[in-house]
A and B are shown apart, each in its own frame.
Chain A
């Protein structure tokens, strides 16, 4: 149906979403991070070397220009790099936000029409805003700090190796602890709490909505306390989860600090010899370089701190991904064998034991009929017989039982876009989009001219209204724009249907809220005017001129 194939969202797919932008921001960030560590190290070396030079009396020949310039360069790299990293990574993040939103849209568009209403507005909003936010944080909060930490540790290893070869061992252990052991432990201890927190906050909200929407009934029936107590229990569980996560975070932060401390101690320990209670540096080690190394460790310590909270972001985005992927479930249906077949010009439409199935499984009454081109059909039956259900099934919105044959060939019409292209269907609910009036109408015929729009509005009796609007066809409709009445909304929907100029028109209660004059004009236009279809099927509890021309009326018979 669409060129955008629904695919599973994974961490890998997030990384490969826009790898170039991600790599650029990581590179810039890496430069900034390394510069920050180098800044501390070089300053330490410079200062101790200068002090030493001054002490041994060679201050005058000490070259302080090169290290001075290097320090300045590092300072600039650090500040500029941070800026660049923030700009690029946020650009990448916003790009990800955009493509994930489109992904959500694709999933929704691929969902069967009959299942669309299962997703509540609040739930979709939660996924669209809450869960997406958790996911796009992932590269910034998890991937990047880890990569920077990794690079800084490698650099530290190189310097340590250079200062005194055996020093590399404590640095390697430090690296393993900071980059792998602590994050892994944090995950072990707290991942369940993170998941629980996420799940609880969603559960809590739906419980709140459910309980408060029935507040009065619950208070009248005296059951309020029981329900609010349950709400409170959820909140207390949330509090426990918060507490657990926070304690793990603080603990891990402490572990990070202590690991850095242990590294400094072991570096010093490996470099000294103790003779007669005196602590002496090993002779083959340059003291100024050791000072530089120790200060660099302090720099790396700062750099790996964000990793202490990365596990939260990791857990949250994992839940976010899972919840977004749940949107796919509705879209996995078996495509019909002949949905690819194009539908010929319709001369004869036969319904054989045809009935629509409501989402809850209620089957409408059965219809048996054959409709030839040029027919006008009014569906009649007692209230609750399923007229609307039958019409919706005929439009392909709902599944059906029985067969449909077009020119004697069987077709599967349910959710079949090819079938939808042949028909125009006015459903029971009127939908107005928050767009201009013209855009709302052009959804029916994208290339319609303003004149065509005005002519259909004239038929529907909306011309005067539109002309009275200061912005005319460009008036914004819907929530942020101009409110339209129920009758106007109905007509705008009807206008969209007429503009499609389809061979088959299906109308569900087209005259609700319309005046007599408009009804007459519409009937004329449908019967012999420019909007006349080959086949017209309608349901209406209001009698109209169309009834006089309805060549056949189908009485819905009770199924069983």
Chain B
């Protein structure tokens, strides 16, 4: 048997599905039972109806059959829903856990995929977008072949004409369904992109709202919003009208097919069929039986048409999710290539022809350099030359490098990463703060400190005056929205935190680049004063030269250029 070639996202989705193999097998078997229940119910109901019409009475057996079939059907429906929802939950929540773990392991490399806000959308909304696929579409796919086939077999012995009508119309319905699905998916995509454009415009105007108020232009902006929303409404309705029209055609098509069956049955009962006048081809019981089964025959197909967009949505989401998981990071190699041979007279950090390639791109050109304990290094260079990559390696988030990084003579990837990281202080461009108070952030990971310790650190970082002026002082909460503290003040707080942690190796990635010149100079001065005796690597553009550094490393596309510089420090 030829197996259909699956697209990568389909393979991804069915891979996840197979984790819940048992659940879905159960759902399948329940589907088989349900098909039989549908037929049994039709037999029972048809019997009741025809007996009622003809004899003004009905048999209790038929009633019992119809009733039990009905009960079985609704209970199976309930069970199927429970099982597939549970499977979907377990698939989604496990996948989410996997994603978060993976992103954690990627560390700063995750930003090669997308920014955090967009990643959170993938982790939450996109994973939840798989729900409809696993609760509705997957169970339905089986039903859509099995139920109509069972009904066909059940109809064949009763009426060949009805059988013929079903056999001829089913492929047409499927054809329409695919057409409708594509149209709806297109409409959906188009609508989504316009909608995000609309939100973008809103956020853009909102961002400058203070400026608009200053200029007295808020109402003009409102007009603009109203106009674009109005246009959006018009174009979207155009697309939707088309999409609904095709759904309508599909509905019409299946009801025409049902009407054909009904017409045949009605005329047949009245013995008025053109080709056999005076003869009734079916009994009233058979007529009811066929009429009750006709909608059931088309129902799974129509339902699948409705759920088709669930598949489209899931595939789109799967692409995004698989991209995250596909972004691999090699685990730490356990083999110790170079043992800590001689730790006595080694320099603190030694890069020995270190380079790093990822996904066919040079993240870091081969470099060789050393840093002695207590030495301060200014690292500059063009963007994309590998400054941040070097930081990533030093932070222990990338072990797949070539060459070696020796820490006091030990290879970085074979040292205890936890202990190494404990020695580090990290100050990126945008200070990293968790939700909580200033105090909680300062004490993060180092335990309670006395008021005096905190004050001393803040004074050295020259932000005690500011913190002290705050109505809540050290207990002022810091959040994503900021505290109302300026970028420079936040950076000073970061310095205070680094001081408190007593880390001896400081890594700084463009701590001044989002600050104005005056503030940037102040921050660099503070850093000069507090980092004496620490080993320090600071990435900074040439616009903010670090004159107090012992070495200046310049990184370019060609590689690393080291120059000693005359240190000008105020200390």
Contact = CB atoms under 8 A, between A and B. Distances in A.
Contact of B470 (A265, A360, A479): A360
A71 B260 CA distance: 12
Contacts of B245: 83
Between A43, A68, A94, A243, the greatest number of chain B beta carbons within 10 A of the residue's beta carbon is seen for A94
Given A257-B74, A290-B52, A361-B471, A82 B225 contact: no
A201 B124 contact: yes
Interface of A: 2, 4, 43-44, 46-55, 59, 62, 64, 68, 71-72, 75, 78-80, 82-83, 86-87, 90-91, 94-95, 97-98, 101-102, 104-106, 108-109, 113, 116-122, 124-125, 128-129, 201, 204-224, 227-228, 231-232, 235-236, 239, 242-243, 246-247, 250-251, 253-254, 257-258, 261, 265, 268, 272, 278-281, 287-288, 290-291, 294-295, 358-362, 383-384, 395, 397, 417, 420-421, 424-425, 427, 431, 433-434, 443-444, 446, 478-480, 493, 496, 500, 509, 512, 541
A207 B202 CA distance: 25
B218 interface: yes
B481 A47 contact: no
B446 interface: yes
Interface stretch (B248-256, B325-333, B404-412, B448-456): B248-256
A79 to B, nearest CB: 5
Given A105-B222, A124-B203, A220-B421, 11 more contacts: A2-B218, A50-B266, A55-B284, A75-B255, A83-B245, A90-B240, A118-B481, A216-B397, A219-B107, A231-B100, A251-B78
A223 B108 contact: no
B161 to A, nearest CB: 16
A243 B116 CA distance: 28
Contacts of A232: 97, 100
A427 B63 contact: no
A116 B209 contact: yes
B157 to A, nearest CB: 20
A75 B260 CA distance: 12
B232 interface: yes
Nearest to A81: B248
Interface residues of B, number: 132
A362 B469 contact: yes
B59 A247 contact: no
Interface string B245-273: 10110011001000100110111011110
Contacts of A86: 240, 244, 247
Contact of A98 (B85, B107, B207, B229): B229
Contacts of A55: 54, 284
B434 interface: yes
B108 A216 contact: yes
Contacts of A52: 53-54, 284
A187 to B, nearest CB: 20
11 contacts: A50-B266, A122-B117, A219-B104, A219-B421, A257-B70, A279-B63, A291-B52, A417-B213, A420-B214, A509-B516, A541-B518
Nearest to A212: B116
A46 B206 CA distance: 63
Interface of B: 48-50, 52-54, 56-60, 63, 67, 70-71, 74-75, 77-78, 81-82, 85-86, 89, 93, 96-97, 100, 103-104, 107-108, 110, 116-117, 119-120, 123-124, 195, 198-222, 225-226, 229-230, 232-233, 236-237, 240-241, 244-245, 247-248, 251-252, 255, 259, 262-263, 265-267, 269-272, 280, 284, 287-288, 291, 395, 397, 418, 421-422, 424-426, 428, 430, 432-435, 444-446, 465-466, 469-471, 476, 479-485, 501, 516-518, 522
B380 to A, nearest CB: 19
Nearest to A67: B266
A397 B210 contact: yes
Given A98-B229, A102-B222, A479-B200, A220 B424 contact: yes
A279 B269 contact: no
Contact of B444 (A209, A223, A360): A223
B298 to A, nearest CB: 13
Given A47-B265, A51-B269, A214-B432, A434 B204 contact: yes
A117 B54 CA distance: 77
